Structure 1
């Protein structure tokens, strides 16, 4: 079952975000610092009351096994950009023991419905280029490569 997160989900969310943080720190150690300080109660409360943010959880047998944090972004018209409204997935994580069961797809589908109701016309996300499992998963859901972020060390 996919549902909106609640305050009492805080401990389960922290556990999932720690898993994600460790994974990202292994993929990009020059960018991501490993930490257990991934979500405060105050941050959770702020997310839960923000109309432009969505935090969903996936439950299996009354246990939170996945989460998706996203938001809707409204871009105003400028000389160089067209106005648009898009949704952005900030974080998605599924507990390792429940992966490859369609939980990520269900979370994304639920988020898409929420974003569509907010008038978003697309879903966007970033993924580390060396995260092959996530890239395959997102490709199966219909995501395509839209842009490359290039970086050069200068130290």
Structure 2
């Protein structure tokens, strides 16, 4: 069992794992994710795996079968508000459905952590869907904590909260705001 840099020969196994992730994401958020498809073409995977800033690693068993993967992105962050720093972003960490519960995910995570340290990174980050409770627990168990939270309101939902914990009809609320705005603009109340 080893973790090594992915090669072009690993592309079919990578695409199989990516399909498992898409299936999970579709189950969690069918409003956003397609039920079938591919995140990357073979050409895109080849480009990623040959770029030192976007390496892909695979976890293999004794017969060189790919049981998991790790997509990484080395980034140099700097802006008018951030001090310059280097970060390692885990773009994707997946263990084959048939191999879960064997500590493979932890080994891939530990590999990413060591990789980040070797490259002088300030931190290690990743994104996880809040509805993916198993992944959230896994990463929290490894010591990760939320860095920021992206909030949403699904506009296709028929009801939303009014901010006081009460559900209100979304269409009515939007219409009422629009009418109120037009009245204020016309000098009314």
For normalisation by structure 2, the TM-score amounts to 0.77
Superposition RMSD on alpha carbons, in Å?
A: 1.4
2:50 is aligned to 49
1:93 is aligned to 94
1:2 to 2:26 alignment: no
> Any stretches of 5+ residues in structure 1 without a counterpart?
none
8 Å CA contact 2:57, 2:70 repeated in 1:
yes
Tell me how far apart the structure 1 counterparts of residues 38 and 117 of structure 2 sit (CA, whole Å): 32
For normalisation by structure 1, the TM-score amounts to 0.92
SS in structure 1 at match of 2:128 = coil
Stretches of 4+ moved more than 4 A in 1?
none
SS in structure 2 at match of 1:109 = helix
SS in structure 2 at match of 1:53 = coil
8 Å CA contact 2:18, 2:38 repeated in 1:
no
Tell me how far apart the structure 1 counterparts of residues 83 and 35 of structure 2 sit (CA, whole Å): 38
- Count of aligned residue pairs for this structure pair: 154
2:130 is aligned to 129
SS in structure 1 at match of 2:27 = helix
Structure scoring higher RCO (CA < 8 A, sep ≥ 6) equals: 1
- Structure with max Cα Rg: 2
1:18 to 2:32 alignment: no
2:69 is aligned to 67
C-alpha displacement of 1:97: 1.4
1:114 is aligned to 115
> Any stretches of 5+ residues in structure 2 without a counterpart?
157-189
SS in structure 2 at match of 1:97 = helix
Tell me how far apart the structure 2 counterparts of residues 54 and 114 of structure 1 sit (CA, whole Å): 11
C-alpha displacement of 1:37: 2.4
